Amino acid sequence: MGMSANLSRRKTLGLLAALPAGGLAHAYAARRKDGGLGEIAARAGVTYGASAGTVIFDDAEYRLLYLKHCKALTTDVDMKFDWLRPEAGKWDWGPADRLAAFAERTGMTLRGHALIWNENAPDWLKALSLAEIRRVFDEHIETVVARYAGRVAVWDVVNEPFWPGHGKPGGYRAGPWHEAFGPGYVERALKRARAADPHVKLAINEAHCERDDDVGRAIREGMSRLVAQLRDAGAPLDVLGFQGHLQPGRPYDDAAFAAFLRRFSGLELHITELDVNDETFPAAIRKRDALVARRYHDFLSAVLAVPAVNTVINWQLADHYSWYNDLARAGQLRSRRAPRPLPFDSAYRRKPAWFAMARAFRERKAA
Ligand code: G3I
Question: Residue 207: CB within 6 Å of ligand 1?
Answer: yes
* pLDDT score, position 25: 63
DSSP string, 222-264: HHHHHHHHHHHTT----EEEE--EE-TTS-B-HHHHHHHHTT-
Nearest by Cα to 35 from 355, 360, 366, 277 = 355
| Cα 212–Cα 213–Cα 217 angle in degrees, nearest 5 | 75
* pLDDT score, position 56: 98
Q: Which atom of ligand 1 is nearest to the CA of 120?
A: 28
Chain segment 75-125, per-residue pLDDT in tens = 999 999 999 999 999 999 999 999 999 999 999 999 999 999 999 999 999
Looking at ligand 1, which residue's alpha carbon is closest to its atom 30?
Answer: 323
Please give the distance, rounded to the nearest whole angstrom, from the Cα atom of residue 322 to the centre of ligand 1: 10
Q: Which residues contact 145 (CB under 8 A, 6 or more apart)?
A: 115, 152, 155, 192, 193, 196, 197, 200
Please report, rounded to a whole number, the percentage of residues in the chain having pLDDT higher than 90.
89
| Partners of 274 in the β-ladder | 314
* pLDDT score, position 29: 63
Q: Could you give all domains of the chain from N- to C-terminal order, each with its CATH number?
A: 37-366 (3.20.20.80)
* pLDDT score, position 324: 98
Q: How far is CA 53 from CA 59, 244, 333, in A?
A: 11, 19, 23
Question: Residue 204: CB within 6 Å of ligand 1?
Answer: no
Question: Residue 50: CB within 6 Å of ligand 1?
Answer: no
Question: Residue 229: CB within 6 Å of ligand 1?
Answer: no
**Ranges under pLDDT 50 in the chain:** 1-22
Instruction: Supply φ then ψ for residue 22, to 5 degrees.
Output: -60, -30
Question: Residue 124: CB within 6 Å of ligand 1?
Answer: no
Q: Which of 77, 85, 99 to mutate to test the pocket of ligand 1 (most atoms within 8 A of CB)?
A: 77
Looking at ligand 1, which residue's alpha carbon is closest to its atom 22?
Answer: 77
Looking at ligand 1, which residue's alpha carbon is closest to its atom 29?
Answer: 323
Q: Is the entire prediction scored with pTM above 0.85?
A: yes
Please give the distance, rounded to the nearest whole angstrom, from the Cα atom of residue 323 to the centre of ligand 1: 7
Question: Residue 325: CB within 6 Å of ligand 1?
Answer: no
